[in-house]
Amino acid sequence: GAVVSQHPSRVICKSGTSVKIECRSLDFQATTMFWYRQFPKKSLMLMATSNEGSKATYEQGVEKDKFLINHASLTLSTLTVTSAHPEDSSFYICSARPSQRGDEQYFGPGTRLTVT
């Protein structure tokens, strides 16, 4: 149990375009999902908290208009990178917190974004 999927696993897009990444909790409901960014051999940096049915809360320094987050259901959150630039190239990871148990999070396998 407690499986989180991400789609796509890899994506290459051209500079100036937008790309959407999906995060799904497959066998549990998640009121809250989190989006992280990770550079090679570095730690995970929290970008934003996605709450079902309400606006996402962003960490300091994260551009809201660039990283659009939508949490439309208890099993799906999406991250859209708008007007992507090469510096947005990174590994993006989501995690989901089960609605019934708050202290654990389950991580998706990540999405590698390359902007050319």
Partner 1 sequence: AQTVTQSQPEMSVQEAETVTLSCTYDTSESDYYLFWYKQPPSRQMILVIRQEAYKQQNATENRFSVNFQKAAKSFSLKISDSQLGDAAMYFCAYIDGDYKLSFGAGTTVTVRA
Closest of 79, 7, 93 to residue 43, by C-alpha = 93
Q: How many CB atoms lie within 10 A of CB 10?
A: 10
Q: How does DSSP assign 77-88, residue by residue?
A: EEEEE-S--GGG
- If one asks whether residue 93 binds partner 1 (CB under 8 A), the answer comes out as yes
Q: 73-92: which residues touch partner 1 (CB under 8 A)?
A: 91
- If one asks whether residue 42 binds partner 1 (CB under 8 A), the answer comes out as yes
Cα distances (angstroms) measured from residue 97 to each of 29, 110, 115: 8, 16, 29
Point out which span in 13-21, 30-38, 63-71, 78-86 binds partner 1 (CB under 8 A).
Answer: 30-38
Name the residue nearer to partner 1 (CB basis): 32 or 77.
32
Encoded amino acid at 56, one letter: A
- If one asks whether residue 100 binds partner 1 (CB under 8 A), the answer comes out as no
What is residue 59's DSSP assignment?
P
- If one asks whether residue 102 binds partner 1 (CB under 8 A), the answer comes out as yes
In the complex, the residues that contact partner 1 under the rule CB under 8 A are 32, 34, 38, 41-44, 46, 49, 91, 93, 95, 97, 102-105, 107, 109-110
